[in-house]
Structure 1
Amino acid sequence: MATLLIVESPAKGKTIEGYLGSGYRVSASVGHIRDLPEVGMGVSPPDFKPNYVFTERGKEVTARLKRLAAECDEVILASDLDREGESIAWHLQQVLGLKSPKRLVFNEITKKALIAALADPQSIDTKKVAAQEARRITDRLIGYKVSPLIAEYLGDRKLSAGRVQSIAVRLVDDRENEISAFNVVTHYNAEIKFGEWTATWANKALLDGQEYWTDKDFAQKVAELTNFKVISCAESETKSSPPAPFTTSTLQAAGSNALGFAPKRTMELAQKLYEQGAISYMRTDSTNLSADALEEIAQWCKANGLPVLSKPRTWDAKGGAQEAHEAVRPSHFDVTQAGEDDDQRKLYRLIWLRAVGCQLEDARFAVRTAKLEATDPVDSKTISFEARGKTLVHKGWKSLTPVDTAEDPDDAAAADAQDSDNPVPELSPGDAVQAISGKVVQTKTKPPARYTEASLVKEMEKRGIGRPSTFGAIIEEIKDRSYVEVFSKKKQLKSTPRGSRLIKALIGRFSFIEYNFTKILEEQLSGVESGKTQYVKLLTLINDRLNGEIEKFKSAQPLQFPCPKCGRGLVMNFGKKKKDPSWWSCAGYTPDDAGCDYSALDDDGKPGASSAPVLSDHNCGSCGKPLIHREKEGEGGWKFFGCSGFKDGCKQSYPDKGGEPDMASPKVKQEA
């Protein structure tokens, strides 16, 4: 009999099955098979033990895996190597009734990596599972407790709050507020042309504590200077090192800047490449490569005449980086093209270039810097100038790829071109040089730029907000919920009035909206994973603090639109289609007809008149309750009197006769 190997993805399983041969049967769980229930909290204190239910496809997948397991001698779990993957392995163990199953951990889908993993099987790391569970429950507590509260108090049923999504919205909204508050300053400089090279006025010496030179008339006088003396001319060299191999976040940035892919799209493509065995695992915060990878790079570069380093280049880990595995890289460096479609091939090429380029020599530039002086003929002030030019003398890594693809292409191109087109000649101190022309350079200070999807990913990683692997999905969610919108041709993000309103309600009231909350939480989750932090203790702390914040919010925040019937908040409901009318209902209403049933028509974004039917002066001949006059306007319209006790089971109705019920012709049921 065979051995059953269970992975997450069917495509990944197909690749692995091709490597392992006939002794193995490979099947996929297709991600999570169990999760918290969609309706209800699914977890409660004091133990915070989750009530797991099968996902939509979980039952079917479990039944299939049980049949396959019964036909095999052994079951091995080989889900992904992050916390989510560990959790999937644990759930599979539970539903399949496996006792101490083998757990395979590998960073790349290659035959070599698989054989090494099979030779050294692990067991399920239950502490890692607990860390994933703690994060999932924290998100559930925040989402399920705060979202309905915010919706009720602000009167918008679709408003929701989330641990990471709300912070992402806040970043965009805070930036918008910075832009609105920004004061533009117009300032001036002067540029002097000497043939093919130029010098710029070094005006900092005259600023006298000011940040910018704002005297245009004086700048014009400086631009009209013609006689200059060389004070110094120095030769130097600068270096440009290649960027590190991709992490999850820099891969998303490069996908956006270089290829125009949304972060979510980049991760989908990377997942496909990983499942094909083309690249290593794409969820990583490490920038370093294995010894095998470094050796492969060196061999390929030497064979192809590239200036590879004699000693491998490494990078220091960022604070908080787990570095459980390598940077994103090709599985085989002699494969320069991979992928099943154009988008996959484009992303693979970026990954290949970045990983190979990181081990090439620095690019070197020869730099010549000349300092010049002129004298102001009016008040005899000494005016200083500087001319700087650089020339690429050794391409190094730039022989493979000219710019860092994770940076904004406009910024990268500008930085690369800086001073390169200014051929400053050899000059000697004391030389007199004559200007050909001069001009005033007017500049206006610019507010901070709006975030693009790529720069938002970068900022979230910098602040330790969330996990890079989820950034793409988060950005898509806040766009879908209309908290932010794409603005301008550069695809910048701008907060909507709805998003601003949400953030204003949360700030100062809930700790999860603070920038350091998620970073601290990730440190606490790492503590759960290492055994230093207790699962129940952490969730108790989070839950108690959240409950306290909710009570303070209720006491301090007035309801936007109180229900006239019960005092709860009225919330706006939206039709399924844009053209469908909106209406208002009480937050105390539940689908099972329990609670307050008050509803109102929408009046330009505010609750209007009650939409409850008006009771007539006539009573039902069957149960005695008041009748309601019902009518439908337009073609095919109808009128009749129905019993107001229809919810209690009375189906009696009466035809309309001149605006009065025809009590002599009762009907058991009126069809619309």
Structure 2
Amino acid sequence: MATLVIVESPAKARKIAGLLGAGFVVRASLGHVRDLPGSKAEIPERYRAEPWANLGVNPETFAPIYVVPAGKQATVRELRQLAARADRVLFASDMDREGEAISYHLSRLLGVEQPTRMVFTEITREALQAALRSTRPLDLHLVAAQEARRVIDRLVGYGVSPLLWGSVGGKLSAGRVQSAALMLVAQREMARMRFRPATFWSIRADVLTRPKFTATVTRVRSSEHPQGLPIARSGDYTQDGALKAGVQVLEMTDGQASALSAYLDGREATVTSVDVTETRTRPAPPFITSTLQQAGGRLNLSAKGVMDAAQRLYEGGYITYMRTDSPALSDEALTEARREATRLFGPGAVPAQPRQYATRNPGAQEAHEAIRPAGTSWRAPAATGLSGADLDVYTLIYQRTVASQMTDAVFDRTAVTLTCGAATLGAQGRVLKEAGFRQLLQDDDPKDEQRLPALAAGQRFPLKARPPEGKKTSAPTRFTEATLVQAMEKAGIGRPSTYAQTLATLQTRDYVRLSGRHLAVTAVGLLVATYLARQVPDVTQQGFTATMEAGLDDVAAGKTTRVAYLTRFWTDGLSQTIRRASRDAPNLPLPHLDGTRLRAAGSGPHLVRAGQSVPLPPQVIPADLDDTQASAILQGTWTEKARPARRTGEKTSAGRARSRKTTPP
């Protein structure tokens, strides 16, 4: 027998087998083949008497117990048989920490004393041949980092989750990354509940040029303020609805707004200044894991949906490895991107020199390229034979990569100022001069502003006032999956490969729930976040979590050892916090409902007011409650409103469900 190549997935194995041809047998391990015990039944007999056996890790030495799960034993037997007959075994799992750990555990199970790694970032014939020529030994630093991550996740999960069972109730879970991410969305939800709107006015008028354009009153002069005061805008107010300290603006009443609008109507305004400047917009860098997940919203795909499609594309040989935080491209990719741009739009579509991008994330691991089409000759989306989400994601990656090497988009931006009596008005417009990369990415820029006619200072034009618009400041916007990924990346919470799974876990645990495209925090999610913030604050603090991630990076780089890392963060840190934590039930004031609290109880979250406590219906999002609904829940008269039918005419499951009535205990 010839060479045995072991990868993770059957799809990847089939693709690679077809490219390597005779002399190679390619098989899949189906992911990890050894892990910490998942149940008591999996704990080997020799460890069952140990007080820490249920953890699967000795918390004093951090020695893990590894077992082959029942579902993987047949796979391991087959791989052992193939390895025994092979002339050579190549471990070709992914080139990240998880892939390195898979190769390590396989080598131990198969009895390969000096394992050889075959690594590649794309599944093409050329890339595989290059990988065969440049095999390397196992990187034990990466293995140690993965093991440290697995051990700390087990210790945190098994250490903190029981605290939640005793305080919030139910079989809840906590985790190193999950809990910090939950705190981000919970803090945003609490900010929404604390928010108090402020009212401000927008006074606009059409300037009757040809074509006409719309100007907005920006300042008003008065005897008290001869230089004029700016009209209050949304950004002048705090989230409590008060003016920010030190801000001097004109807060208009509805009567003043109507009077000013009537004053402008029919009068002439004088153009006092016209400023025309050229502005340029650079194309965005090629995708990394986090930005690809964020862009999935354009396709109505969740972060997990995007990563699932990217995994299939990688295994099918369509794109390079999809777990990376480097936006850099290889010289071959730069050449091909420029060639594609030139093929599509001509020689003028690319600048004189290739564009190269560097990450702004100090914690990035830049060993890999950006996510791009695979190979040295890229397939246009229409020529791939793909369909559905796979085609959509490939198109996104192809266009973003090619566009990254195209010229800037160039605009003429015009800012005009006008005066009419005591009022100063302003307007802005923009005209596209050179499309550049926007030839390929038509929707990759904010909506165009109005186009202004040619104007000169001193010109006078009549105004036609529009009805004044009373507006309210907006509450902080809930996170979408895309913006939460962005916030996690900025805060250093997790790594690109963990984002999609973290979002999925938060929703599976019903800590957050999708409300349209936004993530609303459930009552259980708020109570869990409240308890953790008070009793185990380390797991919710961004700085602590980011430092833990940096420590794992140090282990991967050989700058510290696995045991030193785990001792610092567990023995000397988090374990002591967990030991001191009480199991008091969290009790959370709801700031948007006077005198109302959310309390954990054995039967689930309760709504509490004036000495009365009733179960909160599980479908109710606390931040969406108003006073009338809260009173109805407390009185036992609340019913769930059916949600509007979808445009197809089919109702949602919630809409089909019968209205449920609550009754006091």
The TM-score by the shorter chain falls in which range?
0.7 to 0.9
**For residue 277 of structure 1, what is the aligned residue in structure 2?**
317
**For residue 264 of structure 1, what is the aligned residue in structure 2?**
304
Deviates more, 1:433-442 or 1:507-516: 433-442
| Preserved contact between residue 151 and residue 571 of structure 1 (Cα < 8 Å) | no
**For residue 16 of structure 1, what is the aligned residue in structure 2?**
16
Amino acid at match of 1:464: G
**For residue 520 of structure 2, what is the aligned residue in structure 1?**
494
Residue number among 476, 482, 494 corresponding to 1:466 in the alignment? 494
Q: Does 1:388 align with 2:416?
A: no
Residue number among 82, 87, 93 corresponding to 1:73 in the alignment? 87
Distance 1:424 1:501 in 2: 53
Per the TM alignment, residue 66 of structure 1 is displaced from its structure 2 partner at its CA by 1.1
**For residue 174 of structure 2, what is the aligned residue in structure 1?**
161
Per the TM alignment, residue 217 of structure 1 is displaced from its structure 2 partner at its CA by 3.4
Q: Does 1:242 align with 2:283?
A: yes
**For residue 315 of structure 1, what is the aligned residue in structure 2?**
357
Per the TM alignment, residue 559 of structure 1 is displaced from its structure 2 partner at its CA by 6.5
User: Identity across aligned pairs (percent)?
Assistant: 39
Of the two structures, which has the highest relative contact order with CA contacts closer than 8 Å and spacing of 6 or more? Answer: 2
- Secondary structure of residue in 1 paired with 2:203: strand
**For residue 53 of structure 1, what is the aligned residue in structure 2?**
67
Distance 1:573 1:139, change over 3 A: farther
**For residue 450 of structure 1, what is the aligned residue in structure 2?**
478
Distance 1:212 1:459, change over 3 A: farther
Residue number among 229, 238, 263 corresponding to 1:206 in the alignment? 229
Per the TM alignment, residue 51 of structure 1 is displaced from its structure 2 partner at its CA by 0.7
Q: Does 1:232 align with 2:255?
A: no
Per the TM alignment, residue 20 of structure 1 is displaced from its structure 2 partner at its CA by 1.1
Residue number among 373, 380, 394 corresponding to 1:336 in the alignment? 380
The structure with more radius of gyration? 1
| Preserved contact between residue 34 and residue 54 of structure 1 (Cα < 8 Å) | yes
Per the TM alignment, residue 424 of structure 1 is displaced from its structure 2 partner at its CA by 2.1
Per the TM alignment, residue 169 of structure 1 is displaced from its structure 2 partner at its CA by 1.9
Per-residue CA deviation, residues 207-243 of structure 1 (Å, 9 max, x unaligned), is 4824673333333343332222221212221112221
| Preserved contact between residue 341 and residue 403 of structure 2 (Cα < 8 Å) | no
Residue number among 151, 176, 190 corresponding to 1:137 in the alignment? 151
**Mapping for residues 492-641 of structure 1, pairs under 5 Å:** 492-510=518-536, 511-544=538-571, 545-554=573-582, 557-558=583-584
Per the TM alignment, residue 288 of structure 1 is displaced from its structure 2 partner at its CA by 1.5
Distance 1:206 1:100, change over 3 A: same
Q: Does 1:484 align with 2:527?
A: no
Distance 1:560 1:179 in 2: 20
**For residue 656 of structure 2, what is the aligned residue in structure 1?**
none
In terms of fraction of residues, the more helix-rich structure is 2
Deviates more, 1:299-308 or 1:10-19: 299-308
**Mapping for residues 116-195 of structure 1, pairs under 5 Å:** 116-154=130-168, 156-195=169-208
Unaligned runs of 5+ residues in structure 2 are 40-53, 221-227, 231-245, 588-599, 605-612, 617-665
Distance 1:559 1:192, change over 3 A: closer
Superposition TM-score, scaled by structure 2 size: 0.78
**For residue 411 of structure 2, what is the aligned residue in structure 1?**
365
| Preserved contact between residue 294 and residue 303 of structure 2 (Cα < 8 Å) | yes
Amino acid at match of 2:407: E
Per-residue CA deviation, residues 94-128 of structure 1 (Å, 9 max, x unaligned), is 11111222211211111111111111111111011
Distance 1:304 1:181, change over 3 A: same
Per-residue CA deviation, residues 622-641 of structure 1 (Å, 9 max, x unaligned), is xxxxxxxxxxxxxxxxxxxx
| Preserved contact between residue 527 and residue 586 of structure 2 (Cα < 8 Å) | no
The number of aligned residues is 547
Distance 2:151 2:385 in 1: 37
- Secondary structure of residue in 1 paired with 2:565: helix
Amino acid at match of 2:523: P
Distance 1:41 1:214 in 2: 64
Per the TM alignment, residue 470 of structure 1 is displaced from its structure 2 partner at its CA by 2.0
Distance 2:481 2:250 in 1: 32
Per the TM alignment, residue 573 of structure 1 is displaced from its structure 2 partner at its CA by 9.0
Distance 2:78 2:148 in 1: 29
- Secondary structure of residue in 1 paired with 2:455: coil
Amino acid at match of 2:521: S
Deviates more, 1:67-76 or 1:439-448: 439-448
- Secondary structure of residue in 1 paired with 2:61: coil
Per-residue CA deviation, residues 316-373 of structure 1 (Å, 9 max, x unaligned), is 3122111110111111453112365422111111111111111111111122222212
- Secondary structure of residue in 1 paired with 2:581: helix
**For residue 113 of structure 2, what is the aligned residue in structure 1?**
99
| Preserved contact between residue 530 and residue 586 of structure 2 (Cα < 8 Å) | no
Distance 1:19 1:573, change over 3 A: farther
Per the TM alignment, residue 465 of structure 1 is displaced from its structure 2 partner at its CA by 0.8
Distance 1:522 1:560, change over 3 A: closer
Residue number among 252, 277, 282 corresponding to 2:293 in the alignment? 252
Distance 1:61 1:385 in 2: 73
Distance 2:268 2:368 in 1: 62
Distance 1:573 1:193 in 2: 60
Distance 1:17 1:430, change over 3 A: same
**For residue 243 of structure 2, what is the aligned residue in structure 1?**
none
Distance 2:257 2:408 in 1: 39
Amino acid at match of 1:428: A
Superposition TM-score, scaled by structure 1 size: 0.78
- Secondary structure of residue in 2 paired with 1:76: strand
- Secondary structure of residue in 1 paired with 2:350: coil
- Secondary structure of residue in 1 paired with 2:437: helix
Amino acid at match of 2:270: K
**Mapping for residues 642-653 of structure 1, pairs under 5 Å:** none
Distance 2:394 2:250 in 1: 45
**For residue 2 of structure 2, what is the aligned residue in structure 1?**
2
- Secondary structure of residue in 2 paired with 1:507: helix
